[in-house]
Amino acid sequence: MRKRLLLLLSLALLLPAFARADTRALLVACSDFVTQPDLGNAASGNLQMLDSALLGARPRLAGLSVEDGTIGTEDALRAAVEDALGASTEQDLSILYLCTHGVLSSADDGQAYLLLCDGQTETPLSAARLCELLSGVQGEKLVVLDACYSGALLGRGVEGAASPFLADPSVQVLASAGAREAGWYYDSDRLATGAVSYFASALSTGLGLYGAIEADVNGDGALSLRELYDYLRAAVPSSTCQLLSSGADALALPAARGATLSRPLTGFSYGASLLSSADAALTFSFTVARETAVQYRLIEYADGCWDWDGALTFLDDAEGGAPLAPGRKTRALSLPGVTREESGYLMLQVFAQTGDEVVLCSERLLAVQGDAPDAQLILSCPETFSPGALRELPVSLSLPVPAEATVSVYDAGGALVRRLARSELTHPSPDGVTRLYWDGRDAQGEPLPAGDYVVAAEASVAGRRLKATANVRIEP
């Protein structure tokens, strides 16, 4: 085990125990497997980036532990959790990051597992067993799952599946992919971190690894779990990040203060991600830290998947094709060949290119909304659900074109009790459906009483405001 124990500021040591809130983190990655392809240096690259981001956090973490390729059994993970997070109190936050293979059950029962492996011993870890391992950790817990199909461990995208995480509201879970989605990696021999997952790259950047805390959208210097999730939904186009949380708005996360690592391009700021086919131009800006050429890659979502092989790659030629000089740059990128009727999703990737070194610096999910005069918004969900059965209410939105949707839950008297999405861009999926989930709690994370509620959705298409509602009853 490689372990760092970081001392608290001396001022914090003078505070009474009940007033002190510490953060501890355990980062775990598995790279060498018995039954699955090895992840090589990708898992280690992920750990290096997150480790660096958390080391630069202010206030400093009370403890940061790293397990790189050493966890092959539940007992080994339990010992690591106890060693790294066992000293947490009710006022503390414990973070567990798990990077490994996610696998779906061969019985086709919708069950998903994480694979623990140390190169020799391989053990499937279910969501229920992971919850049991964390049950002895006091305070708030944030579990970050960087694995294929990780959304299925939350009980999402699986018909009738329960989610054991719902039994403990102190556990928040952030997953890198949907129940049927693979995780994607970027590989470069020239990267200091080697290969990394797109999710871990965006996660580290959002936490301030390269200076700016890009996930701090409101710019107040603090970072909430809600802000991080909203950032990742746009910054990780290749998969659909999932969040299970009863208090994401109130959960404050550690973030780096000052750049911990460096790269040629930093400080990305994007305009609207939903573009009109009549004016399909994206505006964005970034800072060039050192002279470099900039390369763009556009990948289209077609036939239910990302068309990596058909990607369009081109250089930034705004300065006559020469490498860009240091300084702040603003760009307006027009999408080629878009007609007024066309709609769809695109992924933008921005690379810094110096010699034969190519470094991925940013990604963004884009959508083009074409003319759709007959578009209808369809909202569907089960008529009843019981939070006591450890199940969420799945809410499905269907639209023929991309849009920004707001989805809210109201009680029988018309009072707003929970906002599931606020002007959130719909996401690409093979069936064209965007899925959200409600745990039966209000905006403060408190369970709502049994009774009748209304789920309402709104979206704007071609200047028309579309609305849809569905009735649902919470049962004891």
pTM: 0.91
Most confident of 33-47, 49-63, 118-132: 118-132
* 18 & 106 share domain: yes
Q: Supply the pLDDT for residue 161.
A: 80
Using CA atoms, how far residue 377 sits from 130, 197, 421, in Å, is 38, 34, 15
- Whether residue 395 lies inside any domain: the answer is yes
Q: Supply the pLDDT for residue 19.
A: 36
* 417 & 464 share domain: yes
* Strands ordered across the beta sheet of 122-125: 102-104, 112-117, 122-125
Q: Is 77 helix (H, G, I), strand (E, B) or coil?
A: helix
* 337 & 455 share domain: no
CATH, residue 469: 2.60.40.4070
Q: How far apart are CA 57 and CA 107, in angstroms?
A: 43
- Whether residue 280 lies inside any domain: the answer is yes
Q: How far apart are CA 59 and CA 282, in angstroms?
A: 36
- Whether residue 251 lies inside any domain: the answer is no
Question: Per the structure block, which two tokens stand in for 96?
Answer: 């567990």
Q: Which of 369, 389, 416 is the last residue of a domain?
A: 369
Query: What per-residue string of b and e applies to 178-194 under the rule 16 or more CB within 10 Å gives b?
Result: bbbbebbbbebeebebb
Comparing 281 with 143, which gets the higher pLDDT?
A: 143
Place of tokens 């505070």: 15
Domain limits for position 283: 265-369
Q: Supply the pLDDT for residue 7.
A: 30
* 400 & 333 share domain: no
| For residue 330, pLDDT beyond 80 | yes
* 36 & 135 share domain: yes
Domain count across the chain: 3
Comparing 111 with 294, which gets the higher pLDDT?
A: 294
pLDDT-derived band at 319 (thresholds 50, 70, 90) equals: confident
Flag the least confident range among 7-21, 97-111, 300-314, 405-419. 7-21
* 116 & 205 share domain: yes
Q: How far apart are CA 141 and CA 95, in angstroms?
A: 6
* 408 & 282 share domain: no
Q: How far apart are CA 374 and CA 47, in angstroms?
A: 48
SS3 content of the chain, % helix, strand, coil (to 5): 15, 40, 45
* 123 & 216 share domain: yes
DSSP letter at 134?
A: H
- Whether residue 390 lies inside any domain: the answer is yes
* 274 & 207 share domain: no
Q: How far apart are CA 305 and CA 302, in angstroms?
A: 6
pLDDT-derived band at 355 (thresholds 50, 70, 90) equals: confident
- Whether residue 254 lies inside any domain: the answer is no
Question: Per the structure block, which two tokens stand in for 460?
Answer: 């704007």
